Amino acid sequence: MTKQSVIFFDIDGTLLNHDKELPLSTKESIFKLKGLGHEVAIATGRAPFMFEDLRKELDINTFVSYNGQYVVLKGEVLYTNPLKISSLEKLTEAALQNNHPVVFMDHEDMKANVPEHTYIKQSIDTLKISRFPTHDPHYYIGRELFQTLLFCPVGEEEQYEREFRDFDFIRWHPVSVDILPKGGSKAKGIEKIVNKLGIPKERQYAFGDGLNDIEMLSTVKNSVAMGNAEEQVKVHAKYITKSVEEDGIFHGLQMVGLL
């Protein structure tokens, strides 16, 4: 029996290519890992409802979502880390004055504080998901929110970073930024899962490509950056595989000796 390892995969630019398609070699590799008895998990900035179809296709029920703020192990919620609502309310007021819309997100849905805005459409459309945020400016009231999207051009998030110290801001699109609880990360979410599973660091693996993967790649012992990752991401990984377009997951798993 192979000793069990746990492997965490980012979604966009890692499991899915830039057309949001799952390469056949990636799907086959995931099922080979599962067949060998390994625990396969997802670690993403996406909301849980944004990758339900992918979880079903790959038969994965362990995941770190919202960049570590909503963590599920074998179908059961293991850990949550919601945003501070009082600070979010003040940020939303400031954003409205700057014509910067926001989208509130919990584990079930997402709602925009404005009826429509070109920045929301531009960025959400790139995810190629079936759901689009509808209008509810009061969605934050009485709910735990795990991430909020702030829509503004590059550089304009700096004013919010200076004023709102309860949050971290991570850009994922030219006109959109993730707002997370201060210190929240995929690495923290992964820590909750590996501690519960009791799998040692030597058998922990992570694959990613984005800025929100840096802490994960820096923390997980056997980290693999995709060939399509930016250089500032690659420097934090132990290994660098081929791009997602070149069967990067398959080659990376071979590189680290899992396949």
Residue positions counted in the chain? 259
Q: Which of 255, 201, 211 is nearest to 236 (CA)?
A: 211
Q: Over the chain, what is the mean pLDDT?
A: 96
Residue 173 phi, psi (nearest 5)? -155, 150
The average pLDDT across 217-237 equals 97
Residues 67 and 110: their CA atoms lie apart, in Å, by 16
Residues 203 and 247 placed together within one structural domain of the fold: yes
70 occurs within a structural domain = yes
Amino acid at 24: L
The pLDDT assigned to 2 comes to: 67
The pLDDT assigned to 176 comes to: 97
The pLDDT assigned to 75 comes to: 97
The pLDDT assigned to 130 comes to: 87
1 occurs within a structural domain = no
Beta strand 6-9 with 39-43 is parallel
The pLDDT assigned to 229 comes to: 97
Distances (CA, A) of 174 to 95, 152, 153, 178: 17, 8, 6, 12
Q: Which of 32, 18, 143 is nearest to 7 (CA)?
A: 32
Residues 50 and 177 placed together within one structural domain of the fold: no
Residues 90 and 154 placed together within one structural domain of the fold: yes
Residue 156 phi, psi (nearest 5)? -75, -10
The average pLDDT across 174-201 equals 96
Annotation marks residue 10 as catalytic: yes
The average pLDDT across 107-113 equals 97
The pLDDT assigned to 255 comes to: 97
The single residue of 10, 12, 106, 213 carrying the catalytic annotation is 10
The average pLDDT across 14-22 equals 96
Angle between helical axes of 248-255 and 24-35 (0-180°, round to 10)? 40
The pLDDT assigned to 248 comes to: 98
Residues 6 or more apart whose CB falls under 8 angstroms from that of 86 comprise: none
1 has pLDDT over 70: no
Domain that holds residue 20: 6-80+184-255
Residues 163 and 35: their CA atoms lie apart, in Å, by 49
* Residue 208 DSSP SS3: strand
Residue 40 phi, psi (nearest 5)? -110, 130
CA atoms within 13 A on the CB side of 245: 4
Condensed to tens digits (0 to 9), the pLDDT of residues 55-88 reads 999 999 999 999 999 999 999 999 999 999 999 9
Q: How far is CA 147 from the centre of its chain?
A: 11
Amino acid at 127: L
Residues 96 and 174 placed together within one structural domain of the fold: yes
24 occurs within a structural domain = yes
Task: Kindly report the CATH number assigned to the domain that includes residue 11.
Answer: 3.40.50.1000
Residues 194 and 75 placed together within one structural domain of the fold: yes
Residues 246 and 199 placed together within one structural domain of the fold: yes
pTM of the model: 0.92
Q: What whole-number percentage of the chain has pLDDT above 70?
A: 99
Distances (CA, A) of 184 to 167, 191, 230: 9, 12, 22
Strand extents, DSSP E, 101-243: 102-105, 110-112, 134-135, 147-150, 167-173, 176-181, 204-208, 222-225, 239-240
